[in-house]
Amino acid sequence: MELKPYQQQVISDLSLFLDYLRRVSPTQHAFQDYWTDKGYQPMTGGVIEPYKNNIKDAVGGAVPHVCIKVPTAGGKTFIACNALRPIFAHSDPDRPKMVVWLVPSNPILQQTLKNLRNPAHPYRQKLNVHFNHRVEVYDKQALLSGSSFNATAVREQLSVVVMSFDSLRVRNKEDRKLYQENGSILSFAGGPDSETVLPGTDETAVINVIRAMQPVLVVDESHNAESELSVEMLRNLNPGFILDLTATPRRNSNIISFVDALALKTEHMVKLPVIVYNQKDKNEVISAALELRQKLEIQAIAEHKKGGRAIRPIVLFQAQSQTAEDNHTFTRIRDILVRVGIPTEQIKIKTATLDELKGIDLMADDCPVRFIITVNALKEGWDCPFAYILASLADRSSAVDVEQILGRVLRQPYVRKHESALLNLSYVLTASARFNETLQSIVMGLNKAGFSSRDYRLAGNPVVNVQTPPVDVAQPIQVAPVDDPLASLFGTSAASQPRQATPITASLGESSATSPDGDGLDPDKIQVVAVPTPPSAEAGNTTTANDVPASSAAVQEIEELAKKEEADFTERTQQMGANSEPTELQNLANRYQMRDHFREQATGIRLPQFYMRVEESLFTQTGEELLERSHLLDGFRLSKQNTDINFDSVQAELYKVDLEQRDRGDVAPSFMRVDGKTKEALLNTILPAMTREGQIKTMSNRLMKNIGDLRPISDKEVSTYVSRILNDLSDEQFRDMVAHEYTYADRIKKRINELATEHAEKAFRKLLDMDQVFVKPTYLLPPFVSPKETAKDITKSLYAKEERMNGFEERVIMEVANLENVAFWTRNGDRRGRGFWLNGYLNHFPDFIVVTKRGKIVLLETKGDDRDNSDSEAKRKLGDFWRQKAGETYRYFMVFERKEFEGTYTLDEFLGVMRAL
């Protein structure tokens, strides 16, 4: 299982922030520079606020504490698993790799433990790959008993401790064993020093062992960890780094990455928008739920017969209890469902006191469950993508808090787009006389899942305008009818959406007949159609969509709206592309649209990128993935590569490596610098007291920290390679390396990348020849750009403003733009700007995209003499590979100011070629 593009962007954002954190101090300045260089200015009261030092360490220093905003179903846990490697790569290499993974509830605790411990689960597989299969996952009891938790093991592995907030949020520490003397972990004796021992606790307590290791904290659903007790909980752990994950960050969150709902829908992670239909009474809700569920299952069976995965759509019936958990209400609903013909084994109740789902795998092919009755017991810690319909059976006079469980129907089965439009959306059916308030609950649920009012549609009712708070969902939401229809999910007009002319109150009709039980339910008024046998239970099942009885008016309207929304979304995503910035950020930076006279041609362009054929699995249904460099490094063993590196000119390059010119004109260190006293101590006191083996280990660790994350190459491979280099150094060279460790680290890192690129290129060529790697036209030019700094106006630019460029780049594009045959051009962004990249054995972002009047599309890379052109040959080869596979419409050129090598051009030569295109 590989990262989705938006998930990879999150990891890239995190890695970039960690780079700033390494170079800039204190943390708030790193945070400020990180966002400023992206083109956004943190400000109080804005989406991005100035950095807040929430937690202090044992000696009073600020702990780096950042947040990632990911909507429900966005894969927060998988993102966290991938985030641990860059976090530790930027940490002190001598510090144990200890993680405390905090979750808000026991159901989520058990689910997280199960997945992280399962060797076959993608979460654990990713941890194993990143940490060389040296991973151990503990719960609280394992720590208390010392089971496989000892000082030796912790030094050699990634240790992940999964605990709930409540196990650490304490006031009376005498009642908590984590804070008490513990003889089971004596192997850590002598570890904690006086500074890290928590006041009022025994130094052998588990909490102090954890504190001594300054763990990385992963805080799942971090919006639940805002209270005074929660802050104390985090502080008591003495963390070295805190990573928050939530769909709804609070105002004190230091957000470094946003994931937009569009990204999740584009990657088929969620069933959006939600179709909402308000019925006359609860009997009609049940009828429509049964009929719509059958429609969905028949569609699923038809897709399964064509080779798709089996899906068994589930209805969540939400009852409104008169007491805390009135089981009579739930059994009454079950009795009615059985009476109208639903088999008992297909119905389960899940409440705080009655759990009929315990031990049932709802995703299993032989599971019969199709109906689950609850109030809000499924609000968290429950994950079944087969849940499609939320049917509220609350009293008509009340507004049900559907937000508590709305997130349970949003996950898309098997993370794929289904052929049937109905299977790509989710549904809420209600019968409420206070429908506006119910809508408010629906939007609150979308807010809590990281979405908004744009992500639902009304069927059979006037459109309602719901204003959502920008970040803090605790703010009130206003709901009021309006004359104009709701704007569609991504900005299109909703004028053509189904709309009932009469107001809500008139459409509800008279009160339903009162049943003998006084709950408004009457089995005689519930219409039921036969439930098809699932394909797993009856071989050769021939049920088709034609077997479904004629749809009721309600379900027919829902079907029509679902099909329309699916078509509208496909069209909208084609126009916008997956590279647009998250919604929260769109109004924070200067945005420049495509010029009107170029828009039609530009939006029709689909730039090819390399894809790789992969085996289909639960998480990869299409049999192909966007090619990543990591795909090409299987079998690469850095520890076996040659260590020939020229260090002769290190001293001459020291200034260049240690200092860099920033865009805003000031000069700042590009690496952390060791002052003279520290170097003197290393050379004259610390290292001489060590054996040669100890010296190599110490300096290897220091170099490793400066080399940083080289994934997917394992830390062990890099460490072995660095140690081999150090073993080959003479005493004089070793002392020189100590004096210039950052330059040595830079040379070693550059050499490792060269070796990895050579290996990846060979693999790439082989896979191309075998047709395992191919090009696919998928990249869309963004509808707007947000340059950090703008260039001077040059004719024929695609956008109203383009990104600033250097002198040679400006000279080249001015010459190109004035060619008679050029239609338009644009400055291509980098990964930060979500520009187009040639993906292969390296990621190459050409400087310009040029389109000619004859429709030729040119990627242009410029190389001034003031630039480091050490990777130019590799980029040029990749450009040639791309051009050969992409076809005659496409060209790639590399243009040098003066010097050149085979396959490249001088400016005059290039202009001569361009005139002919």
Per cent of the chain over pLDDT 70 is 73
Residue 271 has pLDDT above 50, yes or no: yes
Neighbours of 289 (CB within 10 A): 26
**712 prior amide bond cis, ω within 30:** yes
Question: What's the Rg (C-alpha) of the chain?
Answer: 30
Residue 851 has pLDDT above 50, yes or no: yes
pLDDT at 496: 30
| Range of lowest pLDDT (503-517, 532-546, 661-675, 844-858) | 503-517
| Higher per-residue confidence, 220 vs 450 | 220
User: Quick one: residue 292, left, alpha or beta (phi over 0 = left, psi -120 to 50 = alpha)?
Assistant: alpha
What is the pLDDT confidence band of residue 783, given thresholds at 50, 70 and 90? Answer: confident
What value does the mean pLDDT of the chain take? 76
263-519+537-576 matches 5-259 in CATH topology = yes
Residue 820 has pLDDT above 90, yes or no: yes
pLDDT digits (tens, 9 = 90+) for 712-748: 787 778 888 998 988 888 888 888 888 778 888 888 9
What is the pLDDT confidence band of residue 442, given thresholds at 50, 70 and 90? Answer: low
Architecture of domain 5-259: 3-Layer(aba) Sandwich (3.40)
| Higher per-residue confidence, 483 vs 244 | 244
263-519+537-576 adopts what CATH topology? Rossmann fold (3.40.50)
Contact at 8 Å (CB) between 874 and 840? no
In order, the DSSP letters of 759-806 are HHHHHHHHHHHTTSEEEEEEE---SEE--SSBPPP-TTBSBSS-B---
Q: What average pLDDT does the segment 377-403 reach?
A: 71
In order, the DSSP letters of 408-441 are GG-BPGGGS--SSGGGGSEEEEE--SSHHHHHHH
Structure tokens at 569: 């979304």
Domain boundaries, the chain: 5-259, 263-519+537-576, 590-605+780-914, 638-756
Question: What is the C-alpha separation between 160 and 47, in angstroms, rounded?
Answer: 32
What is the pLDDT confidence band of residue 480, given thresholds at 50, 70 and 90? Answer: very low
Give, in order, the Cα–Cα distances in Å from 2 to each of 71, 390, 808, 835, 854.
19, 31, 39, 21, 39
Residue 704 has pLDDT above 80, yes or no: yes
Which CATH number applies to 590-605+780-914: 1.10.600, 3.40.1350, 1.10.10, 3.30.70? Answer: 3.40.1350
Residue 710 has pLDDT above 50, yes or no: yes
Q: Whole-model pTM?
A: 0.65
659-661 and 464-467 strand pairing: unpaired
Structure tokens at 305: 């017969």
Q: Which helix (H) or strand (E) holds 283?
A: helix 282-305
pLDDT at 116: 92
DSSP label of 590: -
pLDDT at 846: 94
| Higher per-residue confidence, 629 vs 572 | 629
| Higher per-residue confidence, 590 vs 681 | 590
pLDDT digits (tens, 9 = 90+) for 83-117: 998 888 877 767 788 999 998 888 888 888 988 99
pLDDT digits (tens, 9 = 90+) for 602-635: 989 999 999 988 765 444 445 778 888 888 988 8
pLDDT at 588: 67
pLDDT at 471: 30
Taking 3-state DSSP, the helix, strand and coil percentages for the chain, each rounded to the nearest 5, stand at: 40, 15, 45
Give, in order, the Cα–Cα distances in Å from 297 to each of 338, 346, 365, 630, 708.
19, 14, 13, 39, 50
Backbone angles phi, psi at 429, to 5 degrees: -115, 130
Q: What average pLDDT does the segment 572-599 reach?
A: 71
Q: What average pLDDT does the segment 401-430 reach?
A: 80
Question: What is the C-alpha separation between 411 and 419, in angstroms, rounded?
Answer: 17
